[in-house]
């Protein structure tokens, strides 16, 4: 079976997208990934797999943020949205470690929604199928090749930047 990282590299190459790859010690949350690679959490994409009326859905948001289910439900016009069961993840993403899926649902037949706050960043970093490998690409390129639905569905959990003091 092709490794997820190799699949992503080929896909990005085929679409003319430059990427940077990184390797770090094994960590399991995207906030830990951000700390490992010295990146602000707002630039690190967290992949959340949901079930919308029983159909899989990939939600991509900034690492420190949380999904607001009601916003997703209203945006999609569905009756029910919930977190997907972990056993579904290995079936949907067979070349990835559970919980380390890249934000490319289009490669797995899973629709993608991107949170607007992350869509406005210059670049995004994401796990590349394992808890030790990351990739970074320009956000514009990500949007161009994945074609996610973009809306605001996340609740920001990152503290606001301190305001500049007047002199």
Are residues 60 and 47 in contact, defined by beta-carbon separation less than 8 angstroms?
Answer: yes
Q: Which residues pair with 23 in a beta bridge?
A: 133
Question: Mean pLDDT, the chain, as a whole number?
Answer: 92
Task: List CB contacts of 76: < 8 A, sequence separation 6 or more.
Answer: 52, 57, 113
pLDDT value at residue 8? 97
pLDDT tens string 25-67: 999 999 999 999 999 999 999 999 999 999 999 999 999 999 9
CATH class (in words) of the domain with range 4-155: alpha beta
Quick: pLDDT tens for 115-167. 999 999 999 999 999 999 999 999 999 999 999 999 999 998 765 554 444 44
pLDDT at position 144, please?
98
Q: What residue ranges do the domains of the chain occupy?
A: 4-155
pLDDT at residue 87 in the model: 84
Q: Is pLDDT at 71 greater than 90 in this prediction?
A: yes
Mean per-residue pLDDT for 107-117?
97
pLDDT of residue 159: 59
Of the candidates 69, 55, 57, the residue with the CA atom closest to the CA atom of residue 111: 57
């Amino acid at each position: 079976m092709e490794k997820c990282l190799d699949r992503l590299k080929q896909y990005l190459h085929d679409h003319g997208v430059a990427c940077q790859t990184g390797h770090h010690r094994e960590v399991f949350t995207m906030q830990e990934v951000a700390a490992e690679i010295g990146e602000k959490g707002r630039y690190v994409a967290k992949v959340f797999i949901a079930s919308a009326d029983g159909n899989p859905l990939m939600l991509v948001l900034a690492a420190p943020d949380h999904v607001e289910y009601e916003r997703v439900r209203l945006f999609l016009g569905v009756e029910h949205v919930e977190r997907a069961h972990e056993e579904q993840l290995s079936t949907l993403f067979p070349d990835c470690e559970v919980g380390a899926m890249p934000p490319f649902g289009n490669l797995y037949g899973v629709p993608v929604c991107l949170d607007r706050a992350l869509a406005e960043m210059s670049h995004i970093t994401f796990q590349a199928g394992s808890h030790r490998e990351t990739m970074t690409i320009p956000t514009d390129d990500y949007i161009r090749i994945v074609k996610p639905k973009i809306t605001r569905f996340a609740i920001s959990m990152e503290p606001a930047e301190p305001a500049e003091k007047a002199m």
